[in-house]
Structure 1
Amino acid sequence: MLDFRLQVFYTVAKRLNFTKASAELYISQPAVTKHIKELEAQFKVSLFERSGNKRILLTPAGEMLLQYAERLLEIYRELDYDMNLLVKQHSGVLRIGASTTVAQYIIPPILAQFHKKFKDIRVLLITGNTEEIELALLNKEIEFGIIEGISRNPQIRYEEYLNDELVLVSALNNPIIKKDVIKPEELPNYPLLLREPGSGTLDVIAHALKPHNLKLSDLQIEMQLGGTESIKSYLLHSKCLAFLSIHSILKELKNNECRIIDIKGLSIERPFKFIQHYGQPSSLTELFIRFARSYKL
């Protein structure tokens, strides 16, 4: 349905090579050239310029057209997907893994809406820390997972899904900290609650502290607990501080049970990621990932 000339232009623009584009599109190189020249005649601009060693580069007009071509291709992919939904009957079992924060605060409302739309798909959700979910994927106990952290296993394909922020949290009336802002070097002065080894959250915190010459071993760790809810409950009944996902404390902030302590010059952001095996995902996996991306949290 998309103008084939735009598909040709997009392929050449991404490869910056007419020969590679012709091989990828299964058409001759003269045909590639013909389609590009037709587009240039239509828009009355040059889309490519030649540099040394027979290399080609996009002109400013080519750069602009590439942006539009990418958007149009994505729209057509979504159109094709949504039209197929009208004629396909989706059923079966989908096994999903989710790390703790995702399982508790991100995925439940998505699962509820997914079930409303696809009642014949049975979803089985397992939870654990990032390390455990990656292992479940490698052991083929799940079709795909959603994790937090910065791990990079070469056997796993990672794809960013949603951004999150870790913030330093204290009970509202914690007597040992009255300030709203501290410096990174002050962190070792306060008792902290942290997640257990293997947690993606713990990895992210350790990585964020490095530029400030701080290690986890420098911190005053009162306890390590295996879940955000455990940490929150402990936090609200102690003098400790803890790094928690902003998604996990919205209710407590609203109820004036806790407050955020800013750390000057330190921002801890992390993406939640889809993890899959390499290769073509199952139709149910692709269906859920597309649905999750379209869901507005």
Structure 2
Amino acid sequence: MAIDVVVNQRHLQIQLKQLETVWHTVINGYNLSQAAQVLHTSQSSLSKHISALENQLKAEVFVRQGKRLTGLTPVGEALLPHIESIFTEIRTIENISLDYNNPHTGTLTLATTHTQARYVLPDIIKKFKEQYPKVQLVLQQADPQTIANMVIRGQADIGIATEALLQNSYLRCYRYYDWSHRVIVPKDHELAELETIDLPTLASYPLVTYHGGFTGRGAIDQTFHEAGLEPEIVLAALDADVISTYVGAGLGVGIIAEMAFEQGHYQNLTAIPVDHFGRFTSWIAVRDDAEIRHFGKAFIKLCQQQFGN
């Protein structure tokens, strides 16, 4: 976005470039050098924009340690939601223009977890690219809270994750699909013939499952804790492929998301349904006060059709 507009009020003369500098500095972790790269300008130019804005406001926007920016002052914290709203509206106007002039060309950025990207979205992305071959898809992987922040700050057009997305009023969420966990063991394991496994039995084996904060790990820990059980987690990983590999190697009994079990890839393993840890919902989120491009809406529609929503 090329922005060179001055807002004149009785006491202030603020350039949108100054507000843009604040916004990009925040979303780039207060790293002026990185923000300058994104904006295709120099670090010194951004510093001048910040100084000019602070002079206008007669207050510092950023907390500083020497020459480094480390956070927002109370004034900066109060300004940020309004700055984000301004650029949300600018993006919406830009999207309207792009949809009118170049409806089948552009970039769609998706922020999602590894599980969604690896096991759920490949078919959707293939169908989408068949419909919109000139749209560049950018797939960014993160934890659910980071995904929510990326959508809120305009770093991603669409976020896909579990319930964490529902906890933010800035987001508009669409139900994607429901899922639960599976226990996986080698086919020659003593548990392999069971139709289900009770919690005490499961807790008596060394376990291999997800890292904290990913794919329902919090619910797994809470369920064991509430049952007065303390299982031994011998390995925690972000990726169900890693979990499956180490279960196959005999390290322990695995707990993974049901959609992540691929029998064709791990023919030496078997999956056992369990409902101890509850049902989960994956959600699709966009920023509530902004409109994404029409091909983004088409992507969401494809996702909803995938599971008959």
Q: Give 1:252 deviation, angstroms.
A: 4.3
Contact 1:131 1:200 in 2 (8 A): no
> Cα–Cα, structure 1 residues 89 and 181, in superposed 2: closer, same or farther, change >3 Å?
closer
Contact 2:185 2:191 in 1 (8 A): no
Q: Of residues 219, 228, 243 in structure 1, which corresponds to 2:240?
A: 228
- Separation in 2, partners of 1:131, 1:165: 20
> Cα–Cα, structure 1 residues 130 and 156, in superposed 2: closer, same or farther, change >3 Å?
same
Aligned to 1:184: 199
Return the letter of the residue paired with 1:237: A
Q: Of residues 249, 256, 259 in structure 2, which corresponds to 1:237?
A: 249
Aligned to 2:14: none
Contact 1:184 1:266 in 2 (8 A): yes
Alignment deviations for residues 140-186 of structure 1 (CA, whole Å, 9 cap, x no partner): 22111111355643243332111222111112123577644322232
- Separation in 1, partners of 2:171, 2:115: 20
Which is richer in helix?
Answer: 1
Aligned to 2:226: 213
- Separation in 2, partners of 1:118, 1:177: 44
Return the letter of the residue paired with 2:269: C
Where do 4+ consecutive residues of structure 1 move more than 6 Å?
none
Q: With the length of structure 2 as denominator, give the TM-score of the two structures.
A: 0.58
In structure 1, runs of 5+ residues without a counterpart are: 1-84
> Cα–Cα, structure 1 residues 132 and 183, in superposed 2: closer, same or farther, change >3 Å?
same
Aligned to 1:136: 150
Q: Does 1:293 align with 2:307?
A: no
In structure 2, runs of 5+ residues without a counterpart are: 1-98
> Cα–Cα, structure 1 residues 139 and 260, in superposed 2: closer, same or farther, change >3 Å?
same
Q: With the length of structure 1 as denominator, give the TM-score of the two structures.
A: 0.60
Q: Of residues 262, 281, 289 in structure 2, which corresponds to 1:279?
A: 289
- Separation in 2, partners of 1:178, 1:167: 14
Aligned to 2:90: none
Aligned to 1:106: 120
Rg larger for: 1
Aligned to 1:90: 104
Between the aligned residues of both structures, percent identity stands at 14
Residue-pair matches, total? 207
- Separation in 2, partners of 1:221, 1:147: 24
Contact 1:145 1:276 in 2 (8 A): yes
Contact 1:171 1:239 in 2 (8 A): no
Alignment deviations for residues 55-106 of structure 1 (CA, whole Å, 9 cap, x no partner): xxxxxxxxxxxxxxxxxxxxxxxxxxxxxx9x98322101001111110011
Alignment of 1:249-264 (within 5 A): 249-252=261-264, 256-263=267-274
Alignment of 1:41-80 (within 5 A): none
Q: Give 1:239 deviation, angstroms.
A: 4.0
Q: Give 1:134 deviation, angstroms.
A: 2.3
Aligned to 1:147: 161
Contact 1:191 1:240 in 2 (8 A): yes
